[in-house]
Amino acid sequence: MNLTRKFLYVFCVLVSGGTLLGWGRGEQARDWAATRDPMGFRVLTGVATSCSNCISLREVAVLGTDSLQGSLDDRGTIQNVVRDREGRYWAGQRTTIKVFAPDGRYLRSVGRAGQGPMEFAFAQPVHADSTGNVHVVDPRLGRETVIGPDFRHRTDRTMPVMFDGVIMVPGAGHRYLIAKWATAPGGTALPLHLVSGAETQRSFGLRSGSRETETVRGISGRVINVGPAGHVFSSQTDSYEIEAWTLEGDRVAGFTLPGLNARPPGRGGLLTADNPPRNSVSDITAYDSRHVWVITRHLRSNWRDFMVERRAPDRGVYLESKDGMVSPAFRSRIDLLDLNTSSVVASYWQDGLLLRFIEPRLVLKLDYTEAGAPMLRVLEATIQRR
pTM, full prediction: 0.91
Q: Which pairing describes strands 189-196 and 280-286: parallel, antiparallel, or unpaired? A: unpaired
Residues, the chain? 386
Go through 145-165 and write b for each residue having 16 or more CB atoms within 10 A of its CB, e for each that does not.
bbbeeebeeeebeebbeebbb
Q: What pLDDT does residue 27 have?
A: 47
- CA-wise closest residue to 178 among 157, 156, 202, 210: 202
Q: Cβ distance 3 to 321 under 8 Å?
A: no
CA 146 to chain centre: 21
* pLDDT at residue 8 tops 50: no
Distance in angstroms (rounded) separating the CA atoms of residues 343 and 166: 27
- CA-wise closest residue to 126 among 161, 82, 160: 82
Distance in angstroms (rounded) separating the CA atoms of residues 140 and 126: 15
- Would you place residue 97 in the very low, low, confident or very high pLDDT band (cuts 50, 70, 90)? very high
* pLDDT at residue 22 tops 60: no
Digit-coded pLDDT (tens) for 25-45: 444 578 999 999 999 999 999
The residue ranges of every structural domain in the chain are: 10-383
Distance in angstroms (rounded) separating the CA atoms of residues 123 and 96: 7
* pLDDT at residue 11 tops 50: no
Digit-coded pLDDT (tens) for 257-271: 999 998 887 667 789
Mean pLDDT for 107-114 is 97
Could you tell me the CA-to-CA distances from 222 to 81, 123, 154, 365 in Å, in that order?
19, 20, 31, 19
- CA-wise closest residue to 26 among 383, 295, 344: 344
Among 185-189, 204-208, 253-257, 376-380, the least confident range: 376-380
User: Which residue type is seen at 138?
Assistant: D
Among 17-21, 53-57, 76-80, 328-332, the least confident range: 17-21
CA-based max dimension of the chain: 63
Q: 137 by DSSP, 3-state: which?
A: strand
Q: How many C-alpha atoms does 93 have within 13 Å on its Cβ side?
A: 22
Beta partners for residue 204, in sequence order:
192
Could you tell me the CA-to-CA distances from 227 to 72, 164, 220, 230, 243 in Å, in that order?
30, 19, 20, 5, 13
- Contacts of 113-116 with C-beta under 8 Å, sequence gap 24+, read 115/141
Q: What is the fold of 10-383?
A: Neuraminidase (2.120.10)
CB atoms within 10 A of CB 265: 9
Strands (DSSP E) contained in 227-268 are 232-236, 241-245, 251-256
**In degrees rounded to 5, what are phi and psi of residue 213?**
-125, 160
Q: Cβ distance 79 to 292 under 8 Å?
A: no
Beta partners for residue 203, in sequence order:
193
